[in-house]
Amino acid sequence: MATLIDKLRQFFRLEPKAGGETAVPPPPPPFTDATLTRLMQQVAQTEEGYYTCEETFALLDEYAEMVVSGEDAAALMPLVKAHLRICPECGSHFDILRTIS
């Protein structure tokens, strides 16, 4: 689940900057209750199967085409939909695909 961990790191902006001292990770920030709640929600959302950005990317073309042609893409590809909900990066890529499809 390295990818999920990476996602969570990005989520909390713990990702070390490129070229930074990656060997020494920064100390974890103090978690507030709100932060912890959001984390738990994200984990709960990703429990039932989870696409990595790579997997989502591979299907995003097809998914965008379905949406554009009026098919129920969310029902046909629920995992793509779920990933788009929690990943702004893929979400914005999807928006672009949808626009040019």
Q: What is the binding site for Zn ion (CB under 5 A)? A: 53, 87, 90
**Sign of the alpha-carbon dihedral angle for 83, 84, 86, 88:** positive
**In the bound complex, what is the minimum distance in angstroms from residue 93's beta carbon to Zn ion?**
8
Evaluate whether 90 touches 56 at the Cβ level (below 8 Å).
yes
**In the bound complex, what is the minimum distance in angstroms from residue 75's beta carbon to Zn ion?**
20
**In the bound complex, what is the minimum distance in angstroms from residue 9's beta carbon to Zn ion?**
14
Q: Which is nearer to Zn ion, 82 or 90 (CB)?
A: 90
- Residue 21 in tokens: 């001292």
The torsion of the CA quartet 59, 89, 87, 71, rounded to 10 degrees, works out to -40
Q: Which is nearer to Zn ion, 68 or 86 (CB)?
A: 86
Q: Which is nearer to Zn ion, 26 or 92 (CB)?
A: 92
Residues 6+ apart with CB under 8 A from 44: none
Q: Which is nearer to Zn ion, 2 or 26 (CB)?
A: 2
**In the bound complex, what is the minimum distance in angstroms from residue 90's beta carbon to Zn ion?**
3
